[in-house]
Every structure is written in structure tokens, then in C-alpha cells.
Amino acid sequence: MTPAELKTMRESLGLTAQWLADQAGVKLRSVQYWESGRSPVPEDVAGMINQIEASINYAVGQAVEIINAAKKKQGCYPELVALVRYRTDEDLWRFRGDMRPLPATAHAELLARLTRELSKMGVEFRIVYMEVATYIEWLGNRSDNESTRAEWASQQV
């Protein structure tokens, strides 16, 4: 991975240089050296960035598949797809533990990629913030899962 590729991918994934340094167990200066070309990008760091990229692309693909399955079942796309945006890393990890240790900005990038795909498909969407207290109250005895959060989000639009 070239220095420019590292910086481009890191930024496009919504990751800060400090986050990458923390995950790689190095000082911020090391990441700055990698991205400037003063030091080679370690293979394990390139692998981590590529894995995050693949995971986000996979999640987008899964969401598109779910929406396409709904179209196949109902004969048309949903009128509106409501998506949840998490304000903090802690909220993201609480409701999407599979995304830990990624920051909420990486989830925002996932949403941005998904909305581009939805736009290409002609599917209308809205993004709403996860309001934890409101959601917990609304949840009541329901189980918390992706579809429940999507149902809640659709009612917030």
C-alpha cells in the first residue's frame, strides 16, 4: 500500500490518524510518517485498512440485498428507507457491537456509501439520529435488533 493509498483509504473510512495509531499500537508520528512516505506502510496496517474497507462494503451489500429482497417480495421498493446515525462511538458500540472498535465516523461512511447505492436504485431514504432515551422508551418489551431500530427510525421521519 502506498502512502497516498493509506491516507486516502483512512480518510474515506472516516478514521482519524490518531485512531489508526491507537489501533496499530504506535504513536501518531508513525502514521504521519507512513502517510508522508518517510516510512513504509507496514503490511499489517495495510491489511487492517483493507479489512475495514471490505467489512464496510460487505455491510452496504447486505443492506442492498435486504432492500432488493423486499422489492422482490412486495413488487416494489419500500416507500422510504430510514437509516440510523449514531452520535457517539459509545452509542454505536452499544447498538452495533459488531462495529467495535470503529468510530461512529466509520459508520457514517457506511451510511454515505449506502445512500449512494440507494440513490442509484431510486430508493428514497432518510437518516435519523439514534436518540437513545427515546428509543429505549419506545422499545418497551420488544427485542433490540437491526429491524427494530429500522422500524423506530421510520417513525422518526
The crossing angle, in degrees rounded to 10, of helices 132-139 and 146-156 is 110
Average pLDDT over residues 46-52: 98
In the three-class reduction of DSSP (H, G, I as helix; E, B as strand; rest coil), residue 103 is classed as: coil
Q: 82 falls in which pLDDT band (50, 70, 90)? A: very high
**pTM for the structure as a whole:** 0.92
Q: 40 falls in which pLDDT band (50, 70, 90)? A: very high
Cβ distance 1 to 41 under 8 Å? yes
Strand partners, 126: 82
Cβ distance 8 to 50 under 8 Å? no
**Residue 10: CB atoms within 10 Å:** 21
Average pLDDT over residues 32-48: 98
Please state, for a pLDDT cut of 70, what percent of the chain lies above it.
100
Cβ distance 77 to 123 under 8 Å? yes
Cβ distance 12 to 52 under 8 Å? no
Tens of pLDDT, residues 4-35: 999 999 999 999 999 999 999 999 999 999 99
| pLDDT of 132 | 97
d(CA 112, CA 124): 14
Q: 107 falls in which pLDDT band (50, 70, 90)? A: very high
